[in-house]
Structure 1
Amino acid sequence: MTVRTVPEPVPGLSADQQAFREDVRSLLASTEVTEELAELAARPPGEEPVLLETYRALGREGRLAPSWPVEYGGLGLGAVESAIVTEEMALAGVPDDVHVLGVDIVGMFLLAEGTPEQKRAHLPALAAGERVATVLFTEPGCGSDLSGLATRAEPDGDGWRLYGSKVYNMKSQYGEIALCAARTSDGPVAMHGITLFLLPLRSPGVHVEPVPSMADECFGLVAIDGVRLGPQDVVGRVDDGWRLMNELLQLERTGIDFHGKARRLLDLVVERAARAGRLDDPVFAVRLAELDARLGAAHALAWEMVHNLDREAPDPVASAMSKWYASEQFRPILDAGLEVDGVDSLLSRWDGEARSTSRYEADYRMAPAHRLASGTSEVMLYLIATNGLGML
């Protein structure tokens, strides 16, 4: 794939932040990274990218988690620099599940609520790209409504024993730790009594098996049978997990990652349309221009959310709007791409007759996930309608 997207200009970036972007961009354009990405594109079915050398290359320079304190492997910068890394990784086509799970979610929870011992034990390795951490929230009986989770933490001396099942999580077969939500007490309100734990995934009593999906990367089913955890494994306060999940997960919904992936995909469609002579068709050219304009709007909205975070003034409703709008752009972009290549675009890159650099078919299979990750489109619309418009 020859396309290499250039991001739209971002108003309000300082000279240092512009230089930081160029530095990250140079790292991602290095031979070490581009060769690894080429190897990943050619990997056979069933092999997943996990501990990428790309992550280690960023981690060595403190670029993987730049907003984290220096003592934990970061650079002590802010939300803008974190967003720059996320955007540049998406534009370069770097698989981001390990980064999103380990840095953006588990790392964020530990920075906000972890003990000094938890931070020292896990954050430096995550920031260096040397450790995989994942998230165990969703269960077979509850999806977006985490108040219905049934995994239990039963008292055992000064600690607990965990029992339950988690599903549709990513990278658990490779992870060392997981941020796991479990019920520690019952009450009349379902949201109460949930606690967050750091669960060692390689402990006796943890069984992980793959759950096939349409995407190249599989989900995981994690069965937890009596794993003992102590007070040192609790993240935040006991029974306070619902509040933490609701407050902190909103911070990942800027839309930057979704926009970057959609921008890369649209630029690929435009590149192929140019080769096929479709840009001479005014109807098709206008359609692509409209898609480009929508992505420009998504980019502006996403960066406004980033600046809100940098000002420590997040807007949950606007963040839901940004996430929803950016992730809803994938389907019309993919539809346009199908018109360019026709049935050839549906050939897997493992097919001998497919284009040597084709990833379009994989992108098409992955498209539904964008409407689900970081909160489904339906949940985002619900948040907008209730919290923003007061409709329900």
Structure 2
Amino acid sequence: MTTAFRDDVRTLLEEDSVRSTVADIAAYPPGTEVALLDVYRRLGERGWLAPGWPVEYGGLGLGAVENAIVTEELTRAGIPDDVHVLCVDLVGMFLLHAGTAEQKARHLPALARGERLATVLFSEPEAGSDLAALRTTARRDGTGWRLRGSKIYNLKSQYGDFALCAARTTDSPVAMHGITLFLLPLRAPGVHIEPVPGMANDRFNLVVIDDVRLDDADVVGEPDNGWQLLNDMLQLERTGIDFHAKARRLLDQTIDRAAEQGLLDDPEWAGRLAELDATLRAGHALAWEQVNALAGGHPDPVTSAMAKWYTSEQIRPILNAGTELAGLGAALSAWDGTTDDDGTWEAALRMGPSHRLASGTSEVMLFLIATNGLGLL
């Protein structure tokens, strides 16, 4: 079943129209980026965008394995995965596990069809990714809530329909207590979105939330229990599948370049590439171990942290090797018009540092391993 499903998804992503879309994206001018793509909708029509979701919410009722296959195949095909990760793997996952029946019915089918875009608002200017230090507040206002604060370094908010937003609802001496998750309409009066300078093709955003009123129906999970929910759900995201797929695509490009230069018979380069390949294969096995644990209903936060750290750290040595082979050509972007790889390597170099930060920094992952796994601190 899983092999046939992967073959079906791969066949669709290899169609000429999809390959043309990938080429067009590579040539986007500065300031232009991907939002909802037609390929997402085509996957959604078949229930393939979120195959693990129940049929009534737009999926196929399958599981974590098929979700991971879609993530792998999208990345393998060179299709930007930020929208898929945000809509399905993050916001959709939170709603599926903690949302009310009304929230699920209202939001999940459209996300699964690739017709709506959701994002997350967690990080803040003074708190970074330390959610225990967040300052955005949500105060009671009759039967609802008033949200005030600022969020930063979020993707796709300029295109999004709504966001999963973390806000402090109760002041407490325990920093982790008193955080609540809300569904925030991004086009509501009082929501201001502006770009933040960055190195990647896709821009970061600053979102200012100025006295936006929400109802109890917009609360995800229980009030004041957002910290526990965030920890439980983000653990499910850290399989390492997405980072491995990105690393594999980069290494395959590096091996192809080495072959073009006749270096596969060179002992130094052959050994170096073989070592990178072996490391990736180990990372792939570790990542799929996490997927299988999810499928079996027994995810482990320590091995999830190990998988995220190990797979994301592999990208840097691959970028180093590929850049050595490409020489100065690695610095040419798609906008230069003279690159022989559509600028994909230059874009990958700009994105390289982010892999150690996304889904939990490498330092945080090592801390979790040291404390929860090894009992060192």
Residue identity opposite 1:283 in structure 2:
E
The within-5 A match list for 1:110-125 is 110-125=95-110
SS of 2:192's equivalent in the other structure is strand
Residue segments in structure 1 that go unaligned for 5+ positions in a row: 1-15
Match of 1:11 in 2: none
Structure 2 stretches of 5 or more lacking a match? none
Q: Confirm whether residue 225 of structure 1 aligns to residue 215 of structure 2.
A: no
Q: Which residue among 3, 13, 25 is the counterpart of 1:28?
A: 13
TM-score, normalised relative to structure 1: 0.95
Provide the C-alpha distance between the structure 1 equivalents of 2:38 and 2:16, rounded to a whole number of angstroms: 11
CA distance in 2, matches of 1:211, 1:84: 33
The aligned residue for residue 282 of structure 1 is: 267
1: distance between equivalents of 2:163 and 2:54?
22
Distance apart, 1:75 and its partner CA = 0.3
1:268 deviates by 0.3
Tell me how far 1:263 sits from its aligned partner. 0.2
Q: CA–CA distance in 2 between the matches of 1:210 and 1:234?
A: 27
Contact 2:194 2:205 in 1 (8 A): yes
Q: What is the CA–CA distance in structure 2 between the aligned matches of 1:49 and 1:77, rounded to whole Å?
A: 28
How many Å separate the matches in 2 of 1:28 and 1:102? Answer: 19
Name the amino acid aligned to 2:284: H
1:202 and 1:109 map into 2 onto residues whose CA distance is 21
- CA drift of 1:31 comes to 2.3
1:113-170 deviation digits (Å, cap 9, x = unpaired):
1111111111001000011100000000112210000000011111111000000000
TM-score w.r.t. structure 2 length? 0.99
1:324 equivalenced with 2:324 (yes/no)? no
Q: Deviations over 1:305-334 (max 9, x none)?
A: 100000001011001001100000111001
Distance 2:267 2:341 in 1: 29
DSSP-derived class of the 2:164 partner: strand
CA distance in 2 between partners of 1:230 and 1:346 (Å): 50
Q: Tell which deviates more after alignment, 341-350 or 258-267.
A: 341-350
Q: How many residues get paired? A: 377
Q: State how 1:205-220 maps to structure 2 within 5 Å.
A: 205-220=190-205
Structure 1: which amino acid aligns with 2:144?
G
Q: Which residue of 2 aligns with 1:146?
A: 131
Rounded to whole Å, the distance in 2 between the matches of 1:335 and 1:204 is 46
Pair 1:163-2:116 in alignment: no
Letter in 2 for 1:246: N
Which one-letter code corresponds to 1:350 in the other structure?
W
Match of 1:195 among 158, 180, 191: 180
* Structure 1: 4+ residue segments shifted above 4 A: none
Bigger Cα displacement from structure 2, 89-98 vs 352-361: 352-361
Instruction: Return the match for 1:182 from 167, 170, 175.
Output: 167
CA distance in 1, matches of 2:84, 2:215: 27
User: Displacement, 1:343?
Assistant: 1.1
Give, in angstroms, the shift of residue 297 of structure 1: 0.2
Aligned residue for 2:231? 246
Deviation larger for 164-173 or 344-353? 344-353
Q: CA deviation at 1:337?
A: 0.6
Structure 2: distance between partners of 1:220 and 1:312: 35
1:377 maps to 2:377? no
**SS at structure 1 position matched to 2:103:** helix
- The offset of 1:206, in angstroms, is 0.1
For residues 354 and 84 of structure 1, the distance between their equivalents in structure 2, rounded to whole angstroms, comes to 31
1:100-119 correspondence runs (5 A): 100-119=85-104
CA contact (8 A) 1:278 1:340 kept: no
Give 1:32 deviation, angstroms: 2.5
CA distance in 2, matches of 1:125, 1:23: 22
Shift in Å, 1:356: 5.1
Cα distance, 1:198 vs. partner? 0.1
Q: Map residues 334-373 of structure 1 onto 2, 5 A cutoff.
A: 334-355=319-340, 357-373=342-358
**Preserved contact between residue 122 and residue 129 of structure 2 (Cα < 8 Å):** no
Q: Is the 8 A contact 2:161 2:186 kept in 1?
A: yes
Task: Find the partner of 1:257 among 242, 259, 282.
Answer: 242
The corresponding residue for 1:57 is 42
- In structure 1, the partner of 2:119 is 134
Q: Which shows bigger deviation, 355-364 or 372-381?
A: 355-364
Contact 1:255 1:323 in 2 (8 A): yes
Q: Does the 8 Å contact 1:349/1:355 carry over to 2?
A: no
Supply the distance in 2 between the matched residues of 1:349 and 1:281 (Cα, whole angstroms). Answer: 31
Local SS of the residue matching 2:264: helix
Residue in 2 that maps onto 1:306: 291
